[in-house]
Amino acid sequence: MTKYRNVVITGGISIMNKNNQFGNYFLDYNSKNCKFENAEEIFQNILKEKELTDKKIKELVLEKPHNVSAEFSMLKGLENEGLLDDFISVSIIHSETVEGKFSALMNKKIIESTYGAEVSLKNVSDVDVSDPVKMNSSLGYFMKVVTEELLKGSKETTFFAPVGGYKYMTYLGYVAGSLFGCHSGYMYENAQKLLIIPPIPVEINFSSIIKNMGFIKRLLNEKMIESDSLNEEEQQLVDEVPYFFEKLYSDQKLLIAANAFAQFIFKDCTEGSLKINEDVKKKINKYPSDKILFMYKFLICSGK
């Protein structure tokens, strides 16, 4: 049986729920008077003031392990199913808010003390839904962060758990997880029932994208391009791979923009020309079912 060594979690704030073991420890702080930049210092002060020592934390976890957090419940569910390796690394991707940071820090302490795991925290900024261009860029960055954490391990031993955070973290996170063939999971907290979701096969026409890389670079640089200005080949690309493009209307004009998916895959290559090295070609020919993984993991940029 394959066991998971790399667990990537989108973190929420369920640990701060007053019905959970640690929620009451954060009830009397005012998040409005806290800044994200000082969140870790404030968090450490709370632990000290509340005498929330490592020993006390372990006692509270052992007392009611099902009332800790969604993140902890997910790991506990994997452990109960015999799916966790002896040593695991955990990445918690959280929102750039005081509550998000506090929750991630508290989960980090709990997971490290319970599993002896190596835990890293990654924050992503809020999404400005009023600005489509900024929104696409923010969502693209989020997918990039998820991808970087997923690719720290092999797809067979990596588990993605979009259990908390903003709704888009679940939706886009699952897309990123499926793209690289990673299993995802959801925990029904009340019943403590673990649901493992297999990745959906994703096929991307990379040859068409690479062929039109000049257009992709221009689109990412200019943010939006009028549809009427596209040549025949560019319009054909937009029609053939619509999952990369966003269509917006402004002043009765149809505009084309790179959506979050395109932003996350091609952002790093806008300053150079894209090419595939021979090692990648050999791997793709040998393992065609994993060509997306190889294309993303080994695509290199030149001319920077």
pLDDT band at 159 (very low <50, low <70, confident <90, very high): very high
What is the pLDDT of the chain when averaged over all its residues? 80
Of 35-49, 97-111, 132-146, where does mean pLDDT reach its minimum? 132-146
Q: Is the dihedral of CA 259, 264, 265, 268 positive or negative?
A: positive
Rounded-to-integer distance, Cα 212 and Cα 140, Å = 20
270 residue type, one letter:
T
Unique residue bearing structure tokens 């997306």: 292
Provide the pLDDT for residue 3.
92
303 vs 274, more confident: 274
Tell me whether strands 273-275 and 253-258 are parallel, antiparallel or unpaired: unpaired
Is the pLDDT higher at 59 or at 296? 59
Secondary structure tally for the chain: helices H, strands E: 12, 11
Cβ-contact 223, 184 below 8 angstroms: no
d(CA 272, CA 267): 11
Task: Give 79's pLDDT tier (boundaries 50, 70, 90).
Answer: very high
Outline where DSSP puts E strands in 23-148.
84-95, 118-124
Whole-angstrom Cα distance, residue 167 to residue 169?
5
Give this prediction's pTM. 0.75
Q: Please check the confidence at residue 64 and state whether its pLDDT lies above 90.
A: yes
Q: pLDDT of 244-294, one tens digit each?
A: 888 888 778 898 988 777 777 766 544 443 444 455 455 555 555 554 444
Q: Are 261 and 175 in contact (CB under 8 A)?
A: yes
Query: What does each C-alpha distance from 42 to 13, 45, 48 come to in angstroms?
Result: 17, 5, 10
Residue 23 CB: number of other CB atoms within 10 A? 16
What are the pLDDT digits (tens) for 225-236? 999 999 988 898
pLDDT tens digits, 3-16: 999 999 998 899 99
Q: Which of 300, 179, 299, 294 is nearest to 244 (CA)?
A: 179
Here the tokens at position 24 are 């009451």
